[in-house]
């Protein structure tokens, strides 16, 4: 398998290493609901191993954008291209439904704000993790159970809870279980929608420490939607600030939060505007 592609330039064709190209490229993405704008003309790249935060007040379009990028919602216009494992850039919305489902089961993960939306509540914790392994072809029960147990440990859930159903878990444990379910297949890109929303402050802090460690250890690329600028600062390398469906400021997280240029971003950072 080659990790290079040929691109045409002024001097002819040249080989470009896959690591030197974006993992995900979004171009001119818009979602319009009748007279209402979900998001409009959004473009950005996400690089291998990079964490990108999308922030803004409620109704700014950040969740609509995340749902379009992750193929959960079809955009009105624009493209989302993803660097496949063979190095080629695939247009997500020109893939067949089966290809997109396979991508979401293997190379991508999606962590919901409410873990109930990302878990099967009527099966055990081990089965929730094991189902993802079966989706990528594993069939040996003993191996699946052992790997599920290992991942429960990595997200700080005792191995003796492997046969318990998520309905018996606290909110923080459910969120950690959802993270294990998503990461067990070693995805390269994970989408997170307010992963600490609705949790107590102490539980949020523990979850953020866990996420930061896993992202670093696994070399994940992450796109995270959050209303909490502290979460963005702690986890992300770059940040997009959205207002009324548009990106109004972007850049390195520390630069944007320490020296915001747009008046709206200045309001967010000074906490004058509640998000």
User: Alpha helices, DSSP H only, in 44-161?
Assistant: 62-69, 97-106, 125-135, 141-154
- Report the distance separating Cα 202 and Cα 52, nearest Å: 24
pLDDT digits (tens, 9 = 90+) for 208-259: 999 999 999 999 999 999 999 999 999 999 999 999 999 999 999 999 999 9
DSSP 8-state symbol, 201: H
- Report the distance separating Cα 66 and Cα 70, nearest Å: 6
pLDDT digits (tens, 9 = 90+) for 249-272: 999 999 999 999 999 999 999 875
Half-sphere exposure of 54 (CA within 13 A, CB side): 31
Which H helix or E strand runs over 35? none
**How many residues are listed for the chain in this entry?**
275
Q: Provide mean pLDDT across the span 146-158.
A: 96
Tell me how far CA of residue 18 lies from CA of 9, 21, 22, in angstroms. Answer: 17, 5, 8
Strands (DSSP E) found in the chain? 4-9, 12-17, 24-33, 36-46, 51-55, 77-83, 89-91, 108-111, 189-193, 221-225, 238-243, 246-252
Whole-number pLDDT of residue 198: 82
| Residue 42 confidence class, pLDDT cut points 50, 70, 90 | very high
Whole-number pLDDT of residue 202: 87
| Residue 89 confidence class, pLDDT cut points 50, 70, 90 | very high
Instruction: Please report the domains of the chain, with CATH numbers, ordered by start residue.
Output: 48-71+96-269 (3.40.50.300)
Helix axes 141-154, 171-183, angle to 10 degrees: 130
pLDDT digits (tens, 9 = 90+) for 3-41: 444 444 444 444 456 667 999 999 999 999 988 999 999
Whole-number pLDDT of residue 18: 60
- Report the distance separating Cα 264 and Cα 40, nearest Å: 18
- Report the distance separating Cα 223 and Cα 51, nearest Å: 6
pLDDT digits (tens, 9 = 90+) for 101-147: 989 988 999 999 999 999 999 999 999 999 999 888 888 889 999 99
Whether the predicted model's global pTM rises above the 0.85 cut: yes
* Helix, strand and coil percent figures for the chain, each rounded to 5: 40, 25, 35
CB 114 within 8 A of CB 198: yes
- Report the distance separating Cα 92 and Cα 103, nearest Å: 9
Q: Among 150, 231, 142, 225, which residue's Cα sits nearest to residue 186?
A: 150
Q: Provide mean pLDDT across the span 159-181.
A: 96
Tell me how far CA of residue 22 lies from CA of 84, 124, 237, 260, in angstroms. Answer: 11, 37, 15, 26
CB 100 within 8 A of CB 92: yes
Q: Provide mean pLDDT across the span 183-196.
A: 95
């Amino acid at each position: 398998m080659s990790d290079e592609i040929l691109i045409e330039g002024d001097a002819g064709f040249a080989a470009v290493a896959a690591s030197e190209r974006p993992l995900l490229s979004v171009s001119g993405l818009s979602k319009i609901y009748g007279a209402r704008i979900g998001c409009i003309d959004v473009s950005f790249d996400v690089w291998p191993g990079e964490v990108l935060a999308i922030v803004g007040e409620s109704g700014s379009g950040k969740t609509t954008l995340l749902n379009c990028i992750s193929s959960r919602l079809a955009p009105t216009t624009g493209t989302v291209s993803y660097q496949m494992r063979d190095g080629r850039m695939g247009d997500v919305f020109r893939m067949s439904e089966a290809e997109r489902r396979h991508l979401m089961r293997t190379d991508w993960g999606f962590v919901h704000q409410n873990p109930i939306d990302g878990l099967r509540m009527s099966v055990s914790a081990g089965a929730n993790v094991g189902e993802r392994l079966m989706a990528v072809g594993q069939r040996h029960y003993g191996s699946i159970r052992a790997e599920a147990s290992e991942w429960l440990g990595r997200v700080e859930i005792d191995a003796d809870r492997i046969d318990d159903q998520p309905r018996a878990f606290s909110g923080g444990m459910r969120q950690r279980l959802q993270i294990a379910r998503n990461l067990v297949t070693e995805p390269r890109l994970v989408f997170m929608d307010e992963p600490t929303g609705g949790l107590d402050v102490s539980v949020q802090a523990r979850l953020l420490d866990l996420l930061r460690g896993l992202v670093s250890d696994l070399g994940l690329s992450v796109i995270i939607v959050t209303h909490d600028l502290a979460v963005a600062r702690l986890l992300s390398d770059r940040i997009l600030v959205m207002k009324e469906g548009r990106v109004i400021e972007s850049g390195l997280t520390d630069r944007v939060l320490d020296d915001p240029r747009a008046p709206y971003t200045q309001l967010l950072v000074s906490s004058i505007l509640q998000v």
